[in-house]
Structure 1
Amino acid sequence: MLNLYITRHGETKWNTEGRLQGWLNSPLTEKGIRQGQQLHQAVKMYDIQKIYSSPSERALKTAISAKGKMDVEIELMDELKEMNMGQWEGKTLDQIKEREPENFENYWLRPHLFVKNTGENFDEMLARTRKALDRIVKENPAGNVLIVTHGVTLKALMSHFSSEGFIKFWTKPVVEQASISMVRVEDLYKGEILLYGDTRHFEEMEMRE
């Protein structure tokens, strides 16, 4: 049995400014750095044997902090990058809403109607994450694996195991950064979601301090 533990990178400067990042990057904040350290508790708690990470700097730095000094391999996968938001990247939510009100609303409420703007649409992003899962599951028929990724990508990965489908899963609350969502995988795309946005490892670190 394969246990997939999926997390978001730590908080970044652009997160605090309400800017979409996509394939661009902004540095981790002090809180974001601490969240990576908190993830180290999850790596120990869940006996993580391998880490797959988006190559985006904010995700990789989070993955490195999560690994700590443990003998755990980190493998980078382009397929785990955030959704490419094209011309929206670096813009604040208010700026995007003002310029493209209908498309902005579709992005949040009707993703199947969202029109990409030199970036990706949701179908392309879902196909990319399916490719990532295909490889990860084939390479790890059993064990405990951590995936360090991004907010939209995390929902896409989880939705492949949800009977609700992506459009309905998309409406779920955004999970906290560095939280743990977990799927027990029986077969490719057949699995049970056991955790969504769990933060018990935060408490574990607080107890140790």
Structure 2
Amino acid sequence: MAKLNLYVVRHGQTYFNIFNKLQGWSNSPLTQKGIDGAKETGAKLANIHFDAAYCSDTTRAMETARLILAANQTSKVKEPVTSPFFREEFYGYYEGNDMDQAWYLAGAPHGVPTFKDIQSTYSIGKAKDFLKEADPFHLAENNDEYWQRVDQGFELIRENQELADDANVLLISHGNTLLSLMERYGEGKYDLSKRPENGSLTRLELSDDGIKVISYNEK
């Protein structure tokens, strides 16, 4: 495999998004705005020939993928391959909690009471470590645990023998995962204080050598 072109789309807006709740492995349905947004993204990608599609096994990701694939005019792929490898960060005890409150409990003991403060002073990776420390059950994923899982997702794509060089792959992803990818592979070119929008497009180049960011948070 020389390289694959990944079209990475953040899932459509959900009810937990508008309620400002942490939504990692937990789930809430797409809002009507989220459904409409996924259809709009599908229309923009309608003439891209996808050779494969992947997403997490959360309904918000699967529904977004199906809406985008249903709008496609050139691909035979109509259903995504689902895997827990592509899930959002696991927030443990704080799943479904108010986002600002959870990050306060994680960051305040370290002098950084907001997610933005943690990110700008330390890193998004360190935010994962702080949240696991604050989790009374210590089940939230720290940075190492998170990447061990997510890296298996990219390996799953690489191992697809049906994908030829320069193939196009749709991948439905999540907000903090996209931020994490930009921190790890974006070479400092992107403003990580701005969350990727629901339905936005990020383009990656996946090869045996790693991941290269082509664009981020396109609307």
Q: TM-score range by the shorter chain?
A: 0.7 to 0.9
What's the % identity of the aligned pairs? 29
**Within 1, Cα distance between the matches of 2:33 and 2:89?**
23
**Within 1, Cα distance between the matches of 2:98 and 2:211?**
37
| Structure 2 counterpart of 1:30, one-letter code | Q
- Structure 1, unaligned runs of 5 or more: 200-209
Match of 1:37 in 2: 39
Counterpart among 70, 81, 87 of residue 75 in structure 1: 81
Match of 1:137 in 2: 158
Quick one: structure 1 residues 102 and 134, their matched pair in 2 at CA, closer, same or farther if it must change by over 3 Å?
Answer: same
Q: What is the CA-CA distance between 1:170 and the residue it aligns to?
A: 8.4
Match of 1:119 in 2: 140
Quick one: structure 1 residues 33 and 98, their matched pair in 2 at CA, closer, same or farther if it must change by over 3 Å?
Answer: same
Quick one: structure 1 residues 44 and 69, their matched pair in 2 at CA, closer, same or farther if it must change by over 3 Å?
Answer: closer
Q: What is the CA-CA distance between 1:77 and the residue it aligns to?
A: 1.3
| Structure 2 counterpart of 1:7, one-letter code | V
**Within 2, Cα distance between the matches of 1:158 and 1:9?**
17
**Within 2, Cα distance between the matches of 1:175 and 1:5?**
14
Quick one: structure 1 residues 178 and 157, their matched pair in 2 at CA, closer, same or farther if it must change by over 3 Å?
Answer: same
Moved more, 27-36 or 131-140: 131-140
| Structure 2 counterpart of 1:88, one-letter code | Y
Match of 2:217 in 1: 197
Quick one: structure 1 residues 17 and 189, their matched pair in 2 at CA, closer, same or farther if it must change by over 3 Å?
Answer: same
For the aligned residue pairs, the C-alpha RMSD in angstroms reads 2.5
Contact preservation (8 Å) 2:6, 2:169: yes
**Within 2, Cα distance between the matches of 1:163 and 1:97?**
25
The answer to whether the aligner puts 1:91 opposite 2:97 as a matched pair is yes
Higher helix share: 1
Quick one: structure 1 residues 186 and 35, their matched pair in 2 at CA, closer, same or farther if it must change by over 3 Å?
Answer: same
Matches within 5 A, 1:166-177: 171-177=192-198
Partner-residue secondary structure (3-state), 1:174: coil
| Structure 2 counterpart of 1:81, one-letter code | R
Quick one: structure 1 residues 99 and 156, their matched pair in 2 at CA, closer, same or farther if it must change by over 3 Å?
Answer: closer
Q: What is the CA-CA distance between 1:42 and the residue it aligns to?
A: 3.8
Contact preservation (8 Å) 1:9, 1:36: yes
Contact preservation (8 Å) 1:180, 1:197: yes
